[in-house]
């Protein structure tokens, strides 16, 4: 009990990987987390529906071997960010934070690519709303009315 079949507990499986996040304005965005729970990247655009988020991430994942990053200095403050430009030059993905050194930012992009390559083909259906803590979309313990 409490295992998702991959040797990790349910809480651990919710910490890393692909997740859909719902913004305060009701639109959706994906985020990619490392196994330690730290957000590595987010979608640059926001989407109206969850299926749009999944399609956008699937397209990005299909091109992961050819992805390039545009690394730029932040406008205000200190640091570097990476952005993956799309076919029309609009950002598709970006780093979740600024990095103090250029080389660290380059390495963060490489880690993003490696993380995307290791993801399962079908990302799990997870959605996060702002506010209360997240809970799995499917109950892990049978309810009294299920028995």
Q: Give residue 121's pLDDT.
A: 65
Which among 92, 107, 128, 115 has a CA at the least distance from the CA of 33?
A: 115
From 120, 140, 88, 82, select the one nearest 6 (Cα to Cα): 120
Domain residue ranges in the chain: 10-124
Residue 131 pLDDT greater than 90, yes or no: no
Q: What is the pLDDT of residues 41-87, one digit of tens each?
A: 999 889 999 999 999 999 999 999 899 999 999 998 889 999 999 88
Percentage, residues of the chain above pLDDT 90: 56
What are phi and psi for residue 56, nearest 5 degrees? -65, -45
Of 116, 101, 102, 147, residue with least CA distance to 40: 116
Q: What's the pLDDT tens digit per position in 74-84?
A: 998 889 999 99
> CATH classification of 10-124, choosing from 3.60.20.10, 2.30.29.80, 2.40.50.140, 1.10.20.10?
2.30.29.80
Residue 21 has pLDDT above 50, yes or no: yes
Residue 42 CA: distances (Å) to CA of 27, 51, 89, 103, 135: 14, 16, 17, 20, 21
* CA pair distance 128, 144, nearest whole angstrom: 26
Overall pTM > 0.85: no
For residues 13 and 4, is the Cβ–Cβ distance under 8 A?
Answer: yes
């Amino acid at each position: 009990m409490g295992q998702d079949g991959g040797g990790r507990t349910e809480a651990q499986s919710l910490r890393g990987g692909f997740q859909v996040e719902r913004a305060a304005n009701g639109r959706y965005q994906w985020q990619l987390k490392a196994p330690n729970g730290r957000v590595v990247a987010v979608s640059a655009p926001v989407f109206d529906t969850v299926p749009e988020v999944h399609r956008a991430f699937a397209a990005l994942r299909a091109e992961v071997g050819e992805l390039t990053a545009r690394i730029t200095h932040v406008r205000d403050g200190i640091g570097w960010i990476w952005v993956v430009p799309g076919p029309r030059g609009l950002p598709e993905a970006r780093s979740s934070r600024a990095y103090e050194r250029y080389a660290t930012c380059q390495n963060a992009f490489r880690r993003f690519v490696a993380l995307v390559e290791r993801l399962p083909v079908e990302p799990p259906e997870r959605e996060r709303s702002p506010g209360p803590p997240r809970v799995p979309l499917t109950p892990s313990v049978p309810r009294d009315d299920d028995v």
